[in-house]
Amino acid sequence: MTEDPILIRAYRASDLPELRRITIESFGSVALEQMLEHKYGIWNGRDWKARKSDHIDDDVNACPEGCLVAERDGEILGYITIRMDRLNAKGRIPNLAVVEAARGLGLGRRMIQQAIDLMRAEGMQIAQIETMASNAIGQHLYPSCGFEEVGRQVHYAMKL
């Protein structure tokens, strides 16, 4: 018996709880939200996991057509989100996650390619993705998909 192929499909609202779970599982030490919590502790009664998974809610609310979900045999293995600035013809990939059991299958690369294809079809002229310096996977994957480093950003924070 052969394994079902991995399908990359459009987001459905029923996917959201699983995307939130995958976000928490996948980002961990490379999430800015966790770095903030490590430095300042929990604030407002919400930990880094709640804040980081809220980003997915924001992504799908802002651009539901820009969320692609990878699944095999009904199991969600990963997702990618896109935000499209139509006025400036710039697409941005704010979040990409693959469950640990599906890493190494080229799934992140496939989702990035489909996201780029979608951005092109929507008239975007620039595609942007960013990663934390601590994300070795992203530091390797994104350039191998054709992205070029154009600048670095430093995040500053302070407790109020």
Give residue-wise pLDDT tens across range 8-66: 999 999 999 999 999 999 887 788 999 999 999 999 999 999 999 999 999 999 999 99
Question: Nearest CA to 79 among 114, 35, 51, 45?
Answer: 114
Domain range for 82 = 7-144
- Are the C-beta atoms of 26 and 50 separated by less than 8 Å? no
Q: CATH number of the domain that 113 lies in?
A: 3.40.630.30
Give residue-wise pLDDT tens across range 61-104: 999 999 999 999 999 999 999 999 999 999 999 999 999 999 99
Give residue-wise pLDDT tens across range 98-124: 999 999 999 999 999 999 999 999 999
Write the DSSP symbol of residue 86: T
What pLDDT score does 29 carry?
73
What pLDDT score does 28 carry?
75
What pLDDT score does 2 carry?
54
The pTM score is: 0.92
Residue 159 lies in a domain: no
- Alpha-carbon distance 15 to 20, whole Å? 9
pLDDT band for 3, please (50, 70, 90 cuts): low
Residue 129 lies in a domain: yes
Q: How many domains are contained in the chain?
A: 1
Mean pLDDT for the chain overall: 93
Residue 46 lies in a domain: yes
Residue 1 lies in a domain: no
Residue 71 lies in a domain: yes
